[in-house]
Amino acid sequence: MSDASDSPRDILRDVARRLAGRVGRGSLGVVSQNVLNLAAMLYVSRALGAEEYGRLGLALFFSVQAFQFLQWGLQSIVARELVRDPPAAPRMLAAVLRQRTVTAAIVIAAGVLLAAAWGGAEGWLLVWIGIVDGVLLGYTLPAAFDAKFRPGTYALVAHLRPLGLLAGAAALHGLAPEWFGARSVLVIHAAALALSVLVEWALIVRMHGRPRAGGTRGEATRLWREGAPLAAGDLAGSLLGYATIPVVAALGHAAETGHLSLSNQLAVSLTSLAGAPAQALHAHLSSRPDPWSAASRREVLTLTAALVAASVAACTVIALVAPALVSKVFGAEFAPSGRLLQVDAWRLVAVLGGAALASGLTCRGRPGLVAASQALGLVVTLIVAVAAVPGNGALAAVAASSAGRGVALVALLALFLGARRRPA
């Protein structure tokens, strides 16, 4: 284990050695799932066209926010509790299902109001289906597989979603093209989600036992309370990544919304590849005996600098090849998405650069500070978007998102450096 006297090179070599096995085990499933997601995205975008794909992108914005709210930041908490006390797993699973059901009811009630406010029967139905899609996705529980050290099993189940979407969309487009559109794609995706969730929970029951009510009200309250700051951070981060889509859509720029949606989803695919390294990094930093020590602080800052440098290099390459590659793969109609991706891809710097800082603060028991940095970035994004998008369109939207993420990263660094241990 590295200590405060180690050089940055020694720290990076030590961490790389420790993470190699963990990342290797988790990355294959993430990569293959991303390949399937890209295949589904490619087929659906070319079949729908830019304007209809923009309507799909707007519905998916609401879907992602519904998903984040249902998850309530409990992924790492549930994994920890299942590992710590395996006999209590049935009670924990029952508590999670209750939490999901309560938050689902809140989301569905809010969804009715949001969908009605968006206006028009067509828009109401599209937003409503998107929210139902997000509610279904919210019942996923990868933490149950992580607790049994079987992330590969979860990845296999998750493959059912893009496979189901791809197969269903291709079948409907070939057999009944007049029915093919944003709404039908969402319905197909929701059906694939429902299937994958059912399979996932069947496997969870086999691994941990059937969910069984029990425990005290205090335990349930602790779950809600402990997840709240993590949920706030996840929701703020999700809005930070997607908030510009409804801003552009509200201005009536249908094709531009489609271009922005594709660019955004491609950028999300890029950042999701960092998921396995980020989880392994969090596990590594969590193993430190004292997250407030000088050695831990030095390790986090060294990792942050290395991750920022690596992501800047990656984004430079993406910026060079994105316009030609996106135009060639997705067609000339989506050529503007390639130019947007040149800017949008820079979110990778904030995501990777912030991974060590966020884990460091969470390990110190300060997840609320992570949420605060994301919230600040979201405010900056919305201010810049509202001011710049009306006159400049989707390019201003991705610039606003990048600016917000940059502010969030700087705020995260400042909060990590300024955090102080609470008195015992």
Arithmetic mean of pLDDT over the chain: 84
Binning pLDDT at 50, 70 and 90, where does residue 67 land? very high
Binning pLDDT at 50, 70 and 90, where does residue 262 land? very high
**395, part of any domain:** yes
Answer for the pair 24, 276: CB distance below 8 angstroms, yes or no.
no
pLDDT tens-digit profile of 265-313?
998 888 877 665 666 666 666 666 778 888 888 888 888 888 889 889 9
Query: What pTM was estimated for this model as a whole?
Result: 0.85
Instruction: Over range 248-258, report the average pLDDT.
Output: 84
Q: Identify the pLDDT of residue 327.
A: 93
Within 8 A by CB and 6+ apart from 136, the residues are 190, 193, 194, 197
Answer for the pair 30, 159: CB distance below 8 angstroms, yes or no.
no
Instruction: Over range 346-373, report the average pLDDT.
Output: 85
**347, part of any domain:** yes
pLDDT tens-digit profile of 90-115?
988 998 999 999 999 999 888 878 77
Q: How many domains does the chain have?
A: 1
Worst-scoring range by mean pLDDT, 18-32, 360-374, 401-415? 18-32
Q: Name the residue range of residue 329's domain.
A: 8-418
Q: Identify the pLDDT of residue 138.
A: 92
**376, part of any domain:** yes
Instruction: Over range 110-130, report the average pLDDT.
Output: 74
**131, part of any domain:** yes
**Half-sphere exposure (Cβ direction) of 176: Cα atoms closer than 13 Å:** 7
**223, part of any domain:** yes
Whether pLDDT at 3 is above 60: no
Q: Is 365 left (phi over 0), alpha (psi -120 to 50) or beta?
A: left
Whether pLDDT at 193 is above 70: yes
**305, part of any domain:** yes
Binning pLDDT at 50, 70 and 90, where does residue 85 land? confident
pLDDT tens-digit profile of 237-247?
888 888 888 88
**1, part of any domain:** no
Instruction: Over range 375-393, report the average pLDDT.
Output: 90
**2, part of any domain:** no
Instruction: Over range 237-262, report the average pLDDT.
Output: 86
Instruction: Over range 213-221, report the average pLDDT.
Output: 67
pLDDT tens-digit profile of 9-51?
655 566 555 555 555 555 566 677 778 888 999 999 999 999 9
- DSSP readout, 176-244? -GGG-SHHHHHHHHHHHHHHHHHHHHHHHHHHH------S-HHHHHHHHHHHHHHHHHHHHHHHHHHTH
